[in-house]
Structure 1
């Protein structure tokens, strides 16, 4: 792989622009309200762009195209679920949550149910979800930088993103990253839309590599190499073959050290890390075990009961998990009122719908032009490698630079929101005063711990790990938010037990799934995506325990619910961060000031 100077320049410019915009915005941040909620003065359109920029993470920019390349039509549920989750958020959560006056999920739990214990438990889950979501962002950054600069270790990209993000957050918290994330959404949209249009034109016009026609994906047999391929295997992999494949291999293949020509018959074949495989042009492509081995299966959705369960569970997780993601909900606390929060969500739906068209198209094109990624299992690199395969030369390098810059923007924007949400919770937990100094120390911890985990753990499919994060969010905060907003009889005991039941089961599934990935992939769909079971059990636990502890319903329930559901113009909103944090002068100024829309 050759060094792409254009891509290096593009990534460097994104990092510089991110730091510069964040630095300029940070100069206006001086109070705790700036760091936690950007003084709740962010207009709906800018906030929508910031939410979209934050939400379109590594899973969206790289992972979806990679899953489409590998799994085909089944992977389409990821962008559908990621977008549809905002419908539920708009209808049931956005406006009441903003009117509650809370500044974080744990603060909402305490304000609604009057329990410091529940606040502490919520803090634990916010930190866990935030860090679990941060790890694939940092690993994706390492993958991107390695593609851009061959020979650079995987940890380099993760360190660069962590340093830039923590630097911006230290400077101005939520106020600093709001403008950064809004800018990065439009950058990411351009970075994925422009190459898609060019690559599609080359594909349809037959001007791509080898003049591949539009029938390449509709052929029922396995995908084929469009030119000779020399593949280095970096991790142990099990490949499945549907028809005989001749190749040259060097390394440990099927348990024996080989150096020369081998013939693989139908079945599974094991290749250990360090091996090199060479395939001739028009040779059928072996694919990693568990993925569709031919185009006919790739185009056919749901190939068994286990996959049917996994698909519905994924829909459940993505649809309900969005309203439980701390870094997403934190953005709605920055709106002036509930009406603006709902309008923000509507704009987000439009922005996400436009974006998610493009990674799906790139995933389908990758099936034709980058089949070697199916051999190594590194399908997350499809968006980065596709331009150079379709248009070799300067055009491909420039398009690759644009996608690499967009991918880096995705890691930076998502990581920024996650670090802010975790830092805000840590700095105000356990009776913390929520001072700017406390927030900054918490931001360092929120960036350093996931970085250490990302460097220690091997990288997996980005969208699959993010899908488990959605399952955890759906199984913990979704029941508490929906029932806390719409059911007057919920108690803190019921909420705590429900969070422990749902969250505990997902954590067990996560551990089993991780062990399975290192021991032969034996885990069934229930373990790989458990939301279809864990979310109903969490709701049931909240309901039953709340009924059993009816005497613990907070006496302030009716007043708080009226505040959440009353129209904004009645003026019932009371922001809790204003009452608790900052100097007397700051509290007076913010309490009496008019919010901008």
Structure 2
């Protein structure tokens, strides 16, 4: 897909991001500007900014790739990502804004009057932020490699440099304008090509996923990263480099008969125009692919759906880059209105990646056997439209994907930088915040050079599970339960978050490759979220003498409207 148009689109998006972010340099003067934009962001602008940073690589690329690979069960991803803000609206948004905090550790210390709780919350914020940053940088590398052929690490480095420039220039002020702009850019980047893809699909006879296999519109190279078996329905002549059916070829022509063929690792097949798109031999197709809980690649599919729902519904309120944006609202009521705006904007956006996944199932099923499902969105214009029009549509999608990485990384960088500035680095005002921002971005950038490749949405799912198991119990119980104690908060957050993180690391290491142990570790939210809540409640009940003396006053400030909380009681001297 490498094309000058796509390269140009990425450059334009990067330059626009830097120029818009430079506005923050002109208006950011105080630490409050850098942390929370001095709490002056109205609901519409804040809603667009939150939507812009929330719609990450997992949303723009990963959802379509998962629908391509696994079918309708993965529609729970966009449902869960959106519904998480409904939980935020009901339980967290307004009280969190009324707390007056700048960061999650600020809130934790103010609520529980404990530096130990603050340090625990700070470590969790940094860990979750970096865990979430990894797939963003990984996705940026994949996108830039797809559109330019550059090494995969280049995209992550470019995103890191742009984000660092924006965050250090104006902090939250800068990224608010940038993220609002990038939401509308991402929506446009998906919507406009989809209209043309829909017309091309209609002119092709509106085939479904269970229809006859589509054909390549132009010469296409398919490279397998692992040993796979492919199904061919009609005789095809291809050029092969690698091993097919036990025989090794070096850029040699080969006639593939209809049936099943075995390809070894690193085998390349060059299909001519008009050739049938191959499919994975054991891939669920047709009605099975479109039927819920029919994914044959995952054992115990009902359990995995529950794990996905719980992680995405509750994980949103524990994501530090999402939570910190509610501190920018002028009042608690504005925070609620902001959440309503976010629900509308996310609901509109998430209609689109699902349609891309369905089209990819028809026109790009070969990506399943190559393992490159995350690029499905990027290759569809070339597959369906082709020519200059296809290149221009692909360039728009590439620009939108790059905007997704930039906006999410910006929010994560601000949230992590705030914690590092307040709790790790020496206090140096705005200069210290800028140094913290550099460290916040540089750490995961270095990690991407050695991190194992994961599907983008799967990697984000791990961050959601850890957030749902640690910061979610801390926020919910801290806001709504007066008997929470510092020992309970620390024990519950570390137990829930620690077990979820350990499960994620064991899954990445493939310690248990199959069976119930694998499923329990791959989808830990089903047990790690209740565990975090239970430990937090149990330890708090066992330490009643540690309830902070100012609990009643703090809870009153969290739950009363600002006008009521600020009104002096009758008889006060004021």
- TM-score, with structure 1 as normaliser: 0.88
Alignment check: 8 A CA contact 2:14 2:162 kept:
yes
**TM-fit CA distance, 1:345:** 0.3
Q: Choose which of 196, 213, 216 in structure 1 pairs with 2:208.
A: 216
Aligned to 1:179: 177
Q: Which whole-Å CA distance do the structure 1 matches of 2:146 and 2:425 have between them?
A: 45
Change (3 A) 1:313 1:149: same
**TM-fit CA distance, 1:272:** 1.2
Change (3 A) 1:228 1:117: same
Superposition pairs of residues 177-256 of structure 1, within 5 angstroms: 177-204=175-202, 206=203, 211=204, 213-219=205-211, 223-226=213-216, 230-233=220-223, 235-239=225-229, 249-252=240-243
Superposition pairs of residues 45-444 of structure 1, within 5 angstroms: 45-150=44-149, 152-204=150-202, 206=203, 211=204, 213-219=205-211, 223-226=213-216, 230-233=220-223, 235-239=225-229, 249-252=240-243, 257-258=248-249, 261=254, 269=262, 271-273=264-266, 275-278=267-270, 283=276, 285-287=278-280, 292-303=283-294, 306-429=300-423, 433=427, 435-444=429-438
Aligned to 1:471: 465
CA offsets 1:178-235 (integer angstroms, 9 cap, x no match): 111111111111111111112112212x1xxxx3x2233243x7x4544576434263
CA offsets 1:540-570 (integer angstroms, 9 cap, x no match): 1111111111111100000000000001222
Change (3 A) 1:376 1:340: same
Q: Which whole-Å CA distance do the structure 2 matches of 1:235 and 1:443 have between them?
A: 36
Change (3 A) 1:456 1:431: closer
Q: Which whole-Å CA distance do the structure 2 matches of 1:412 and 1:500 have between them?
A: 30
SS of the aligned residue for 2:449 comes to: helix
Q: Which whole-Å CA distance do the structure 2 matches of 1:245 and 1:549 have between them?
A: 73
SS of the aligned residue for 2:510 comes to: helix
Q: Which whole-Å CA distance do the structure 1 matches of 2:114 and 2:235 have between them?
A: 64
Q: Which whole-Å CA distance do the structure 1 matches of 2:387 and 2:232 have between them?
A: 34
Please list every run of 5 or more consecutive structure 2 residues that lacks an aligned counterpart in the other structure: 568-574
CA offsets 1:146-172 (integer angstroms, 9 cap, x no match): 12213x111111111100000111111
**TM-fit CA distance, 1:237:** 4.5
**TM-fit CA distance, 1:496:** 0.9
Q: Which whole-Å CA distance do the structure 1 matches of 2:172 and 2:31 have between them?
A: 10
Alignment check: 8 A CA contact 1:243 1:284 kept:
no
**TM-fit CA distance, 1:372:** 2.2
Please list every run of 5 or more consecutive structure 1 residues that lacks an aligned counterpart in the other structure: 574-597
SS of the aligned residue for 2:503 comes to: helix
SS of the aligned residue for 1:251 comes to: strand
Q: Which whole-Å CA distance do the structure 1 matches of 2:323 and 2:386 have between them?
A: 43
Change (3 A) 1:441 1:382: same
**TM-fit CA distance, 1:279:** 5.2
Q: Which whole-Å CA distance do the structure 1 matches of 2:92 and 2:263 have between them?
A: 49
**TM-fit CA distance, 1:98:** 0.5
**TM-fit CA distance, 1:379:** 0.8
**TM-fit CA distance, 1:106:** 1.0
SS of the aligned residue for 2:92 comes to: helix
Q: Which whole-Å CA distance do the structure 1 matches of 2:415 and 2:399 have between them?
A: 25
Q: Choose which of 484, 490, 501 in structure 2 pairs with 1:496.
A: 490
Q: Which whole-Å CA distance do the structure 2 matches of 1:276 and 1:268 have between them?
A: 13
Change (3 A) 1:478 1:158: same
Q: Which whole-Å CA distance do the structure 1 matches of 2:259 and 2:556 have between them?
A: 66
**TM-fit CA distance, 1:266:** 8.0
SS of the aligned residue for 2:191 comes to: helix
SS of the aligned residue for 1:488 comes to: coil
Change (3 A) 1:163 1:264: farther
- TM-score, with structure 2 as normaliser: 0.92
CA offsets 1:89-128 (integer angstroms, 9 cap, x no match): 0011000000011111111111111111111111111111
Q: State the superposition RMSD in angstroms.
A: 2.5
Q: Which whole-Å CA distance do the structure 1 matches of 2:542 and 2:246 have between them?
A: 59
Q: Which whole-Å CA distance do the structure 1 matches of 2:75 and 2:481 have between them?
A: 34
Change (3 A) 1:133 1:245: farther
Alignment check: 8 A CA contact 1:471 1:531 kept:
yes
Q: Which whole-Å CA distance do the structure 2 matches of 1:282 and 1:13 have between them?
A: 36
